[in-house]
Amino acid sequence: MISDKMKELVKNNSVIREMFEEGKKLKKIYGEENVFDFSLGNPSTPVPSKVKDSIIELLENEKQNIIHGYTSNNGFEDVRDALAKSLNKKYNTNFKSDNFIMTVGAASGLNIVLKSILNKDEEVIVFAPYFSEYKCYIENYDGKIVVISPNEGNNFVPDLKELESKINNKTRGVIINNPNNPTGVVYDESFIKKLSEVLMKKEKELERDIYLISDEPYREIVFDGKEVPFITKYYKDTIVVYSYSKSLAIPGERIGYVIVQDEVKDSKDLITAITIANRVIGCVNAPSLMQKVVSKCTDITCDMNIYDKNRKLLYSKLKEYGFKCIKPEGAFYLFVKSPSEDDKEFASRAKKYNILVVPAYSFGCKGYVRIAYCTSFNTIEKSLKSFKKLAEEYGIYKK
Q: In whole angstroms, how close is the CB of 172 to a second copy at the nearest point?
A: 9
Site string for a second copy, 27-56 (x = CB under 8 A): -------------x-xxx-xx---xx--xx
Should residue 259 be labelled a site residue for a second copy when binding is judged by CB under 8 A? Answer: no
Torsion angle of C-alpha atoms 180, 183, 184, 187, degrees rounded to 10: -50
3-state percent helix, strand, coil for the chain, nearest multiple of 5 = 45, 15, 40
Spatial CA neighbour of 247 closest among 182, 189, 330, 137 = 330
Instruction: Report the site for a second copy in 183-222 (rule: CB under 8 A).
Output: 209
Q: How many chain residues interact with a second copy (CB under 8 A)?
A: 80
**Residues 41, 113, 265, CA angle at the centre, nearest 5°?**
135
Choose the stretch contacting a second copy; rule: CB under 8 A; options: 79-87, 112-120, 198-206, 215-223.
112-120
Q: Which of 111, 183, 338, 383 binds a second copy (CB under 8 A)?
A: 111
- Nearest Cα to 37, choosing from 396, 395, 376, 392? 376
Binding a second copy by CB under 8 A: which of 83, 101, 117, 294? Answer: 117
363 binds a second copy (CB under 8 A): no
Q: Position 323: which residue type?
A: F
Toward a second copy, which CB reaches closer, 110 or 185?
Answer: 110
Our finding on whether 396 is near a second copy (CB under 8 A) is no
Of the candidates 176, 175, 170, 173, which has an alpha carbon nearest to the alpha carbon of residue 120? Answer: 170
CA dist., res. 318 & res. 321, Å (int)? 5
Query: Which of the residues 87 through 106 are near a second copy (CB under 8 A)?
Result: 104-105
Question: Minimal distance in Å, beta carbon 337 to a second copy?
Answer: 27
Binders of a second copy among residues 279 to 308 (CB under 8 A) are: 279-290
136 counts as binding a second copy under rule CB under 8 A: yes
CA distance 270 to 172: 13
Q: How far is the CB of 226 from a second copy (least distance, A)?
A: 26
